[in-house]
Amino acid sequence: MKNKEIKNSHPFIIKNCMLTTIATGEKAESLRELRDKLMDIHPGSVYYHFWGGLLSPRFEEPEFNNDFAAWAYRALRDPVLAERLAMIDPTPFADIEDLRQEVIEVIEERLYETEIVPVVKPDEAFCFIRSQIVIFDTYRRLIEPKELASVVPTLSGGSIFYHFIDARRRTDERIDDFRAWLKGFGNTYNDLCDMLAAVDPYFTTLVELRKTLSKIFKTYFGEDEKA
């Protein structure tokens, strides 16, 4: 049973985005050097190496969700470290500095365990990249929440990334744009917000994430029954 709806005077503005990459000039040729560089690297670089792969076109399914884990496996030939880094889920970290510290602690633990710190060839060095988000207005507007059921399945990967992932850096409550907008209707959509809060956007692809969100909205608003 849904509560009586409170009107929200603000429409949901659908936007699209892309990540442009910026070379930092910083490289690491050993695990110790990676740790040291991570101490001071631009926070946008930490963000990119965890989330950037979602918006980067790839011809094959990546083995690891973040670039640090991939480098540990392919360049350092350290599957133990790669697995530990791959297990880091950036989603719960509201502050990028907390995420940075988590990565550093995992690396330091491995350095403590390792007697010999391997050095990679220059062409296998970890190259720190940072990103800048470019935002586009799609000129699409939603007035009523029930429109989400039909619109979300048509959104681009960039829109899904912007509204469900990048929003967590922008909104005051560190939540996705869908929940931020739905909260403007009072307590009407608390159940729907709980369903969205349960979705972890990290260990998936944008295509799968769009399918998951689409199913939630269609189920909630009864669109599945009409299909």
pLDDT tens digit sequence for 123-141: 999 999 998 899 999 999 9
Task: Kindly tell me if the per-residue pLDDT of 224 is higher than 60.
Answer: yes
| Rounded-to-integer distance, Cα 220 and Cα 99, Å | 33
pTM score, whole prediction: 0.87
Dihedrals φ, ψ of 111, to 5°?
A: -65, -35
| Rounded-to-integer distance, Cα 227 and Cα 149, Å | 12
The separation between CA 71 and the C-alpha centre of its own chain, rounded to angstroms, equals 19
Dihedrals φ, ψ of 141, to 5°?
A: -130, 140
Distinct helix (H) and strand (E) counts, the chain: 12, 2
What was the pLDDT predicted at 89? 95
pLDDT tens digit sequence for 61-110: 567 889 999 999 999 999 999 999 999 999 988 789 999 999 999 999 99
Of all residues in the chain, the percent with pLDDT exceeding 90 is 77
The separation between CA 119 and the C-alpha centre of its own chain, rounded to angstroms, equals 30
| DSSP helix/strand/coil, 176 | coil
For residue 106 the two structure tokens come to 């995992």
- Rounded mean pLDDT of 175-191? 95
